[in-house]
Structure 1
């Protein structure tokens, strides 16, 4: 399928960039002050989730000040593979994004370490075009399906198709924000998108075929917060500082849930009703690692290795950095 070619290209780019090295923040080092460079998925160069909410309240820099952090520079990317290239080029110190691109990068020998999972049970669904589209997973056989490749949604789509024994004619890379236009034009017969997009498209009359949380819970996604090994070597305190910041941020967000939802609305562009329907407090654990999150991560890695999207298998325990 075309999707394999796309992932092969992305992985090849990672392998090439991984050897480039890149330096962590120039001022990073014991006793130095510096701006922490953070990569994320989204738009507007803003962090999502509780840590983003904490940053919007001017609380993230003070939480990291013991490291010498005097500011944070957030750079957002449309997709995980794009973020991975910036990490490999040494343009970021830390990144928070989906588990699938993070695992693919590590499997391409990109020197990162996992320091937290801020979100678990990331949901997604598959919808059809309005007229003459498929009505079941079986109906996707021989059809064109869109997905944001290299994402946890991509992994969910491939898993659901594989379990059903269905092979589409083509899996086409389209960013989730552009899926509606492709469905409307009939360029694709169906699309896999994140849960907020599912709710938005359902409201416009696009038929839902299947939902991960209902039919394929083993393919729910998690988030990954990683740092480059060079930055970790220069600033080992980032592990405990970031993990504590996540705890504090999650506690504050859950204590002000309406305020957290309002912040989420302000950065993702969806109406409040859709944000409320697709955002659940139990998806945001305070602890950096939970048994449920780690179990989902292990299952995702196994799937990606079996599908040969992770080039070189690795031990999750060697990737994870627990709090000292």
Structure 2
């Protein structure tokens, strides 16, 4: 993938910043980026433990006694590729994004560390226009199908195709961002589209039919999103990184408790996504499994597999080593300090619980 492709999707991307209140002069500014944005450019996200941490102001609370630290949040309509562009331009210190864009970034020289997981085992959905007779993946052969290339959904779609005997070249792929995809489905300019939870809202509005959820038959297509820190910031400000990870671990714990299910929806709803849709997306889902921050063998194996598949599918030009990418010391210290040992179950590379 050349630099133009690597930075693709950045042009015209919406960037929204939210700045916390600070009383000190010349504060240390910590810039945190989301590879997503709310409805109508609302400065909120949904679907992850970090979106809960942001909405609850946990990072700001962590530094409430340190007025010289200022937290800034950035939200990108251009998703993972736009975040990569911002990191390349040294505009972010920490950020969250999905698996593929982070792998592409690593392949293209971005130096970062994975601090903790923000969401995992997130499915990819297939939606088709109302009236369509498409009901299964195999029927996409020769059809016009929208995929937001360069995002974590890109690699998930490749996994789904492979599981159903399709090659990338068997489908007429159209590269569209989320808003353009929704419009094209509504006007029936495409035969189908892969995407996320927002398709459920379009289905409720009678604009599309959701005919596939990857968790039903292709678990390997599940998406994972993590929180990264640039190597430059981590080396310069390890104490700040430690405190931020502690705040985000608090958020992961809050988002993992079943008794907080409705409160989590309250926070996610600030993104503008309908509550009924958010509720359907996590219906029957274990919150502890979905929001586990652990850098366990399952997480490490998942990144290694996705990096391998990225090379195999031609999404990156060179192999990417992933094991040295993880920096677990901050999370381990936070879990110990907060007394959260044993809250989350680690899984082995095959997804089975470790003793």
TM-score (norm 1): 0.83
Deviates more, 1:196-205 or 1:78-87: 196-205
Greater helix fraction, Structure 1 or Structure 2: 1
Q: Which runs of 5+ in 1 are unaligned?
A: 15-31
CA drift at 1:286: 4.5
Which residue in the other structure is 2:56 paired with?
57
Contact persistence 1:40–1:97 (CA under 8 A): yes
Deviates more, 1:51-60 or 1:255-264: 51-60
In 1, distance between residues paired with 2:67 and 2:325?
Answer: 25
Which residue in the other structure is 2:129 paired with?
129
SS of the counterpart of 1:56?
A: helix
Contact persistence 2:127–2:210 (CA under 8 A): yes
Alpha-carbon distance change, 292 to 238 in structure 1, aligned in 2, over 3 angstroms = farther
In 1, distance between residues paired with 2:3 and 2:140?
Answer: 23
Which residue in the other structure is 2:302 paired with?
296
Contact persistence 2:103–2:320 (CA under 8 A): no
| Cα deviation digits, residues 181-207 of structure 1 (max 9, x gap) | 20232221110011x123223332633
CA RMSD of superposed structures (Å): 2.6
Which residue in the other structure is 1:70 paired with?
69
| Cα deviation digits, residues 57-111 of structure 1 (max 9, x gap) | 3331242579886221111112110111011000111111111101110011112
Q: Which runs of 5+ in 2 are unaligned?
A: 10-25, 331-355
Which residue in the other structure is 2:288 paired with?
282
Residue 297 of structure 2 corresponds to residue 305 of structure 1:
no
CA drift at 1:12: 6.3
| Cα deviation digits, residues 189-230 of structure 1 (max 9, x gap) | 110011x12322333263333211001111101102111121
CA drift at 1:155: 1.2
Match of 2:176 among 174, 177, 180: 174
Which residue in the other structure is 2:228 paired with?
226
SS of the counterpart of 2:315?
A: coil
In 1, distance between residues paired with 2:251 and 2:311?
Answer: 33
Residue 275 of structure 2 corresponds to residue 272 of structure 1:
yes
Alpha-carbon distance change, 11 to 56 in structure 1, aligned in 2, over 3 angstroms = closer
Alpha-carbon distance change, 135 to 287 in structure 1, aligned in 2, over 3 angstroms = closer
Match of 1:34 among 28, 31, 48: 28
Contact persistence 1:246–1:286 (CA under 8 A): no
- Provide the aligned length of Structure 1 versus Structure 2: 300
Contact persistence 1:239–1:323 (CA under 8 A): no
Residue 210 of structure 2 corresponds to residue 208 of structure 1:
yes
